[in-house]
Amino acid sequence: MSDLAIEASQLVKKFPAKPGTGDKPSEGGSAPPPKRKLFPFGKKEPNAMFTAVDGVDLQIQRGEIFGLLGPNGAGKSTTIRMLCTLLEPTSGTARVNGFDVVRQANDVRRSLGTVLAGERSIYWKLSGRENLEYFAALYHIPPAIAKKRVEELLERMEIKDRANELVEKYSTGMRQRIAIAKALLARPPILLLDEPTLGLDPQAARNLRELIAQLKREGHTILLTTHYMEEADQLSDRIGIIDTGKVIALDTPEGLKRRIDQQEIIRLEVIGWQEYIGDKLRALSEVSNLVARKQGEADLWEVNMQSNNSRAVLPKLVENIGQNGTRLVNMNIVKPSLEDVFIHLTGKALRD
């Protein structure tokens, strides 16, 4: 019996692509511009494949919280769906709780509690309690135990006083709590949480993170996906950074940050940033991974860069900014965060 809660080996998932979005560029250059059709019947194009997950390896220890961190479209949801048996991998293998996800799918399902798409995963025309009772039966929990368990979870999620109201009347936070209670019903050893705090207000998100930490203390293994770096940093024992279908780094949060430890992060706030300044600064040897992002409507930009010698860089910064209408508003030199690790590894920002 393996003591790995989840192990995945070279997981690959390819989907038939929508026309024009496949992996390979289409033959013969770009398609002709679409004619203005009076009767626009859909036309079928030859099937290209789109690789969502491109060889992911994971080894998740029992009792740990593992964070899968990456931007939207990186392949996090697809990976989770393969692990919980909703999707079959195109190639590669995965075992959850020692069971193969393809050949022992039902055993895998018994071992998992999963939260995907939070509030849409429960029945709005049923009450919170009815939802939990229903799913308890689907997970083969004997009725006497199920009853107690449902009450226990309603209490723990603080929904007991509204448990008999229809879910359609709940707030998003409450619906998410029911979804989580649903995942915990059969007391599964392993939990998969796909973007659990997405759409929650800060207090609710905070409470949920507290709960996740508690669940770990109770012995659950948790795999969670997120694109919030603070969340991954705060909760995870280890983090896998995933981008364009591949795990590009896997380590503890500290370990990851230490990778660019020799680097410092220079954070600037600039008004009227222009590309040529970025090009000039990138040309400097002490500067790497410069990323500039516009903040909101006004011409305010956040510019991040990594430097191994900020002392040498600063005067050159000041020299280049402060001309042609560009103004430096704020500057900070900080220790690297996970986001910076991400930028370091991929050259792009985590949030786009």
Partner 1 sequence: MEATLSPQSLGKPGLASDLRAFWAIVNREWTIFKRYPSWIIALLIWPLIFPMMYILTARALSGVDGSGMTVFTQTTGATNYIGYIVIGTTVWMWQNIVLWDVGFALRNEQMRGTLESNWLSPTWRFSYLLGHTGPQIITMTTFILITAVEFGLIFGVRLNGNPWLALLIMLASIPAIYGLGFAFASIVITAKEAHTFVFLVRGLVMIFCGITFPVSLLPGWMQSIAEWMPQTYMIHGMRSAAFANASFADLLPDLKALLLFGAFWLTLGYLLFNWMERRARQTGAIGQY
Partner 2 sequence: MEITALSQPTVAAQLRALWIIAKKDWKVFWRYPLNAVSHVFQPIIWVTPVYFMGKAFSTNGQALGFAQYSGTGDYMSYVLLGTALSNFILTVFWGMGFALKEDMDAGVLESNWLTPVSRLHILVGRTLTSLLTTTITSLIMLAVSALLFGFRPTGNVVAAILTAIPMLIGLYGFGFAFAGIVLLMREANTLVDVSSFLVQGFSGANFPVKSLPYWLIPVSLMLPLTYGFDAVRGFLLKTSTLFPLNVEVTILIVFMFVMLWFGAWIFNRIERKVRTLGTLGQH
User: Min. distance of Cβ 49 from partner 1 in angstroms?
Assistant: 11
Beta strands in 2-151 (DSSP E): 4-16, 49-61, 65-69, 91-96, 99-100, 112-115
Q: How far apart are the C-alpha atoms of 240 and 248, rounded to whole Å?
A: 7
81 binds, among partner 2, partner 1, none (CB under 5 to 8 A by kind): partner 1
Q: Is 47:16 a contact under the CB 8 Å cutoff?
A: yes
User: Min. distance of Cβ 297 from partner 2 in angstroms?
Assistant: 11
112 binds, among partner 2, partner 1, none (CB under 5 to 8 A by kind): partner 1
Classify residue 154 by burial, with Cβ atoms within 10 Å: 0-12, 13-18, 19+: buried
Q: How many CB atoms lie within 10 A of CB 214?
A: 11
41 binds, among partner 1, partner 2, none (CB under 5 to 8 A by kind): partner 2
Alpha-helical regions (H) of the chain: 76-83, 105-111, 128-138, 143-156, 172-184, 202-217, 229-235, 253-259, 275-282, 310-320, 338-346
Binding characters for partner 1, 61-80, by CB under 8 A (x = yes): -x---------------x--
Residues 6+ apart with CB under 8 A from 274: 324, 326
Nearer of residues 39 and 296 to partner 2, judged by Cβ: 39
Q: Is 131:167 a contact under the CB 8 Å cutoff?
A: yes
39 binds, among partner 1, partner 2, none (CB under 5 to 8 A by kind): partner 2
Binding characters for partner 1, 136-165, by CB under 8 A (x = yes): -xxxxxxx-xx--x----------------
Nearer of residues 117 and 318 to partner 1, judged by Cβ: 117
Q: How far apart are the C-alpha atoms of 125 and 275, rounded to whole Å?
A: 53
Q: Of these, 56, 60, 74, 84, which contacts partner 1 (CB under 8 A)?
A: 84
Cα dihedral sign, 150-108-251-307? negative
Nearer of residues 3 and 352 to partner 1, judged by Cβ: 3
**Residues of this chain that bind partner 2 (CB under 8 A):** 38-42
Q: How far apart are the C-alpha atoms of 7 and 58, rounded to whole Å?
A: 5
Cross-strand pairs, 269: 302, 330
57 binds, among partner 1, partner 2, none (CB under 5 to 8 A by kind): none
Is residue 120 close enough to count as binding partner 1 by CB under 8 A?
yes
Is residue 220 close enough to count as binding partner 1 by CB under 8 A?
yes
Q: How far apart are the C-alpha atoms of 226 and 197, rounded to whole Å?
A: 8
> What is the phi/psi pair of residue 36, to 5°?
-75, 100
78 binds, among partner 1, partner 2, none (CB under 5 to 8 A by kind): partner 1
Amino acid making up residue 272 = G
1 binds, among partner 2, partner 1, none (CB under 5 to 8 A by kind): partner 1
97 binds, among partner 2, partner 1, none (CB under 5 to 8 A by kind): partner 1
Q: Of these, 31, 49, 117, 333, which contacts partner 1 (CB under 8 A)?
A: 117
Q: How far apart are the C-alpha atoms of 253 and 335, rounded to whole Å?
A: 13
User: Min. distance of Cβ 296 from partner 2 in angstroms?
Assistant: 15
User: Min. distance of Cβ 38 from partner 2 in angstroms?
Assistant: 8
User: Min. distance of Cβ 88 from partner 1 in angstroms?
Assistant: 4
What does the binding site for partner 1 look like in residue numbers (CB under 8 A)?
1, 3, 15-16, 62, 78, 81, 84-88, 97-98, 106-107, 109-112, 114, 116-117, 120-126, 130, 133-135, 137-143, 145-146, 149, 166, 182, 185-189, 218-220
